[in-house]
Structure 1
Amino acid sequence: MNLNATLGAQFVVFFVLALFTMKFIWPPLMNALDERAKKIADGLAAADRGRAEMAAAEKRVQAELAGARDEGQRRIGEADKRAAGIIDDAKKTASDEAARIIAAAKADAEQQVNKAREELRGQVATLAVKGAEQILKREVDAAAHAGLLNQLKTEL
């Protein structure tokens, strides 16, 4: 065999195989590699978007937590104010009630003092009549001298 013919035949087979590969095998292989690269790029972009969304969500969560803390502090402040108001109202009510009870007790004591005075006046009038009876050695008629006795009661 001729070496040149063999090399020529191998050269032709190589070029036919290279043309066949470039025409039928290379395009689908490049498309598959391009699709794979595109999927990888899309995945990386999605991961970046996910990280960005996660960071934004974290910021929203922090903002919501800060808002909730502020709202809680505000409500605690309102509750403290309301509690102080209730305590002040209770103190005022207790003070008013104490003043009312003291006034009622004073009125009751005054009434009892007046009742005791009236009883004492009656007893003094009776004693005065008995004393006058003793002095005059005769009985004084209480019914006949009622006006005089009433005048004596009011003077005492």
Structure 2
Amino acid sequence: MKFNATLLAQFFHFILLLIFLRIVAYKPVANMLKSRQEFITNNVAAAEEDRKQAEALRQQYLADMQKAREEAQAIIQQATKAGEVQAQEIIEAAKTEANRVKDNALQEIAREKEKAVAELRDQVASLSVLVAGKIINQTITPEIQHGLVQDFIKEAGDLPC
């Protein structure tokens, strides 16, 4: 192997270039890379914090939705109970009204019955007076008595009951 001066000059220039780059370019590039790394780290941390906040908001939203569902269910149950109570009140009112109408009808029937009995008594009294009048005018024989009873039955059968 021979000693080559060109190789030595290239080696010397290479070392000089490295020193120059270290002084001029390496520190700014290293600072830029370091600031870039800090920026990325900060962004990742901020993104993680945002993700945590988003998850917390999501959990809060889900809790609020569950609470709203429970409240809606409670309102529905309350409305159902109120409807049932109202239906029961309507049924009770209808029963009361039906009983009132029934009682009025029974009272009306009783009045009509008393009226019919009174009319029947009046007719029986009239017939009794007629029969007594006929008896006084005639002497009673078994044939006359039988005829009077038959007339009475015939007249009583024609009465409205």
**TM-score (norm: length of structure 2):** 0.72
| 1:134 to 2:138 alignment | yes
CA deviation after TM superposition for structure 1 residue 55, in Å: 0.9
**What does residue 106 of structure 1 align with?**
110
Corresponding position of 1:141: none
Structure 1 residue 97 corresponds to structure 2 residue 106: no
Choose the corresponding residue for 1:72, options 72, 76, 83: 76
Q: Measure, in 1, the Cα distance between the counterparts of 2:115 and 2:24.
A: 132
Residue 138 of structure 2 aligns to a residue in which SS? Answer: helix
More moved, 110-119 vs 60-69: 60-69
After superposition, what is the alpha-carbon deviation per residue over 1:28-57, rounded to whole angstroms, capped at 9, x for unaligned?
333333322222222111111111111111
What SS is found at the alignment partner of 2:116? helix
- Structure with larger RCO (C-alpha < 8 A, sep 6+): 2
Letter aligned with residue 63 of structure 1: K
Number of paired residues? Answer: 135
Once residues 137 and 68 of structure 2 are traced to their aligned partners in structure 1, the CA distance between those partners, rounded to angstroms, is: 101
What stretches of structure 2 of length at least 5 have no aligned partner? Answer: 140-161
User: d(CA) in 2 for partners of 1:119 and 1:15?
Assistant: 151
Seq. identity, %: 16
Greater mean deviation of Cα atoms: 76-85 or 102-111: 76-85
Distance 1:108 1:21 in 2: 127
Shift of 1:100: 0.8
- Which consecutive residues of structure 1, in runs of 5 or more, have no partner in the other structure? 136-156
* TM-score normalized with structure 1 length: 0.74
Q: Which of 42, 49, 52 is 1:38 aligned to?
A: 42
Q: How far, CA to CA, are the matches of 2:6 and 2:132 in structure 1?
A: 179
1:60 alignment partner, SS class: helix
